[in-house]
Amino acid sequence: MKIWTIIGCVSCVCVSGFVYSQAPGKPTEAKPVMKANAEAAVFDKDGSLLRPKGYRRWIFIGTPLTPNDMNAGHAAFPEFHNVYIDPASYDEYLKTGNFRDGAIIVKELVSVGSKSASSGKGYFEGEFIGLEASVKSKKHAPKEPGNWAYYRFTTEEGKPLLDSAKLQPSANCNSCHTGAADDYVFTEYYPVLRAAKGKGIDPDK
Amino acid sequence: MKIWTIIGCVSCVCVSGFVYSQAPGKPTEAKPVMKANAEAAVFDKDGSLLRPKGYRRWIFIGTPLTPNDMNAGHAAFPEFHNVYIDPASYDEYLKTGNFRDGAIIVKELVSVGSKSASSGKGYFEGEFIGLEASVKSKKHAPKEPGNWAYYRFTTEEGKPLLDSAKLQPSANCNSCHTGAADDYVFTEYYPVLRAAKGKGIDPDK
């Protein structure tokens, strides 16, 4: 189990230390055929997930960090992960405490930019270096645990992100996510979701 | 200067290791008299800033981290800082590359919850323990550098956040912020702002 967990985590890892060249407004060639709402997951006719757009206006939920220098120089995920959920799914989680079918969670990978500032020694976010997403979908992941499917848009160093991505093999991501606190989502590291779960109204209102 | 910087940083520091009790929907007693838009800074008649509401739906810009164990056990800011800007000010920054008068930046303090996960050793966000904000306002901070005023809503361990806060003495915050990259804002640690500055359209579109 431990070995699978490590393999799973490592197989999800993205190459660190580079900045991708993301052309603003670059049109995607894939044709969307399903769109639950303006901010949710969009798939092409082959079932690939189109790269999410506009997610920096979604709901930020937390930033896990497992830097190389705390993992013998070889972290599975050496970057900051800025994690977001689409607003409609946040609203549903706020109301019911559950992730709706169609929920999309985006993980934006950000390099460790520096380790020192006037405020002290620490970790400070550098540049965007990758993008991953998970979608809860009975249609697209009928046999995956919790119907969660995982997608990766990161490419080689300095190359643009993929416009669309195919479903990752189950073992690549679910091997770790099976241990997560709430419906295969690591809410133990996402204080915004924990504070919102089933509360009915925004906790910061 | 160095001493002032340290004093300034330390005087802004919030006590770590506790969770404040924030009552959802708790009405504030202060009466708002100025409201630039639904999401911006609101002051009472005495010039105190009302505690920002709904900021977890604003634009997240970055998460600086200077934990105690990297600062000889006495970090000035031992927590994660989840930092947000109001959407209208983000739009202005996207369009012009400048912070508008009335811009509000919120810093939500989050404890270090754990240092180990299935993904490796690192830092993972725990609980909300404080709230601070800065506002660029010619009216409320006519003599402060860049017209930025700083406010602190954090209280004692386990106590609710303040409903309103008075302007911090200049030395408490500006002594550090004077060294920041862009108009007294530490954009060097905020990749979302760097990517957006003057771009015209959302970089993640």
CA distances from A89 to A27, A39, A92, A136, A186 (A): 26, 10, 5, 10, 16
- d(Cα A52, Cα A105) in Å, to the nearest integer? 10
Interchain CB contact of B203 with A (< 8 Å): yes
Residue of B nearest to A12 (CA): B119
Average pLDDT estimate for A131-157: 94
Range in A77-86, A133-142, B37-46 the model is least confident about: B37-46
Q: Is the pLDDT of residue B198 over 90?
A: yes
Kindly state the percentage of chain A with pLDDT values over 70: 81
Q: Exposure of B64 by Cβ count < 10 A (0-12 exposed, 13-18 middle, 19+ buried)?
A: buried
Kindly state the percentage of chain B with pLDDT values over 90: 73
Amino acid residing at A89? S
How many beta carbons lie within 10 A of that of residue B38, not counting itself?
11
pLDDT recorded at residue A21? 58
pLDDT recorded at residue A173? 86
Interchain CB contact of B53 with A (< 8 Å): yes
pLDDT recorded at residue A16? 39
**Tokens 């800025």 found at:** A82
A 67-86: CB under 8 A from B: 67, 70-71, 75-77, 80, 82, 84
Candidates B139, B77, B146, B73; CA nearest to B108 is: B77
- d(Cα B72, Cα B78) in Å, to the nearest integer? 11
Q: Is the pLDDT of residue B36 over 80?
A: no
pLDDT recorded at residue B22? 52
pLDDT recorded at residue B40? 77
What pTM was computed for the model? Answer: 0.87
- d(Cα B192, Cα A127) in Å, to the nearest integer? 9
How many beta carbons lie within 10 A of that of residue A143, not counting itself?
6
> Is the Cβ–Cβ distance between B181 and B157 less than 8 Å?
no
Which band of pLDDT confidence, cut at 50, 70 and 90, is reported for residue A100?
very high
- d(Cα B126, Cα B22) in Å, to the nearest integer? 16
Q: Is the pLDDT of residue A23 over 90?
A: no
Residue of B nearest to A190 (CA): B125
Q: Is the pLDDT of residue B31 over 50?
A: no
CB contact under 8 A, B117 and A5: no
CB contact under 8 A, B122 and A53: no
Residue of A nearest to B1 (CA): A118
Average pLDDT estimate for A155-179: 89
Q: Is the dihedral of CA B134, B137, B155, A85 positive or negative?
A: negative
Interchain CB contact of B20 with A (< 8 Å): no
pLDDT recorded at residue A165? 97
Q: Is the pLDDT of residue B6 over 90?
A: no
Residue of A nearest to B192 (CA): A56
In this predicted complex, what is the ipTM? 0.86
* Mutate: best of A61, A81, A94, A125, partner B, most B CBs <10 A: A125
Q: Is the pLDDT of residue B29 over 90?
A: no
Interchain CB contact of B185 with A (< 8 Å): no
CA distances from B57 to A165, B61, B146, B187 (A): 28, 12, 26, 20
Segment holding B123, helix H or strand E: strand B120-136
> Which of chain A's residues have a Cβ under 8 Å away from the Cβ of B18?
none
Q: Is the pLDDT of residue A34 over 90?
A: no
Average pLDDT estimate for A86-113: 97
Beta bridge partners of A130: A109
- Count A/B contacts: CB-CB distance under 8 Å: 170
CB contact under 8 A, A66 and B122: yes
Average pLDDT estimate for A190-201: 98
Structure tokens at A69: 């220098």
A 118-137: CB under 8 A from B: 118-128
- d(Cα A55, Cα A166) in Å, to the nearest integer? 19
CB contact under 8 A, B124 and A55: no
CB contact under 8 A, A125 and B57: no
Average pLDDT estimate for A60-72: 97
> Which of chain A's residues have a Cβ under 8 Å away from the Cβ of B117?
64, 66, 186, 189
Q: Is the pLDDT of residue B20 over 50?
A: yes
Most confident region among A190-194, B38-42, B158-162 by mean pLDDT: A190-194
pLDDT recorded at residue A18? 59
pLDDT recorded at residue A201? 94
pLDDT recorded at residue B32? 46
Average pLDDT estimate for B189-194: 98
Which band of pLDDT confidence, cut at 50, 70 and 90, is reported for residue B18?
low
> Which of chain B's residues have a Cβ under 8 Å away from the Cβ of A188?
113-114, 124
Q: Exposure of B157 by Cβ count < 10 A (0-12 exposed, 13-18 middle, 19+ buried)?
A: exposed
Which band of pLDDT confidence, cut at 50, 70 and 90, is reported for residue B55?
very high
Interchain CB contact of B21 with A (< 8 Å): no
CB contact under 8 A, B203 and A56: yes
CB contact under 8 A, A125 and B190: yes
Structure tokens at B87: 């959407």
Which band of pLDDT confidence, cut at 50, 70 and 90, is reported for residue A68?
very high
Average pLDDT, chain B: 85
CA distances from B25 to A183, B6, B65, B160 (A): 28, 37, 29, 13
Q: Is the pLDDT of residue A37 over 70?
A: no
What is the 3 state secondary structure string of A37-90? CCCCCEEECCCCEECCCCHHHCEEEECCECCHHHCCCCCCCCCEEEEEECHHHH
> Is the Cβ–Cβ distance between A205 and B24 less than 8 Å?
yes
Residue of A nearest to B190 (CA): A125
Q: Is the pLDDT of residue A39 over 60?
A: no
> Is the Cβ–Cβ distance between B72 and B4 less than 8 Å?
no
Candidates B134, B133, B156, B136; CA nearest to B146 is: B136
List pLDDT tens digits, range B90-138: 999 999 999 999 999 999 999 999 999 999 999 999 999 999 999 999 9
Q: CA neighbours within 13 Å on the CB side: how many for A130?
A: 26
Average pLDDT, chain A: 86
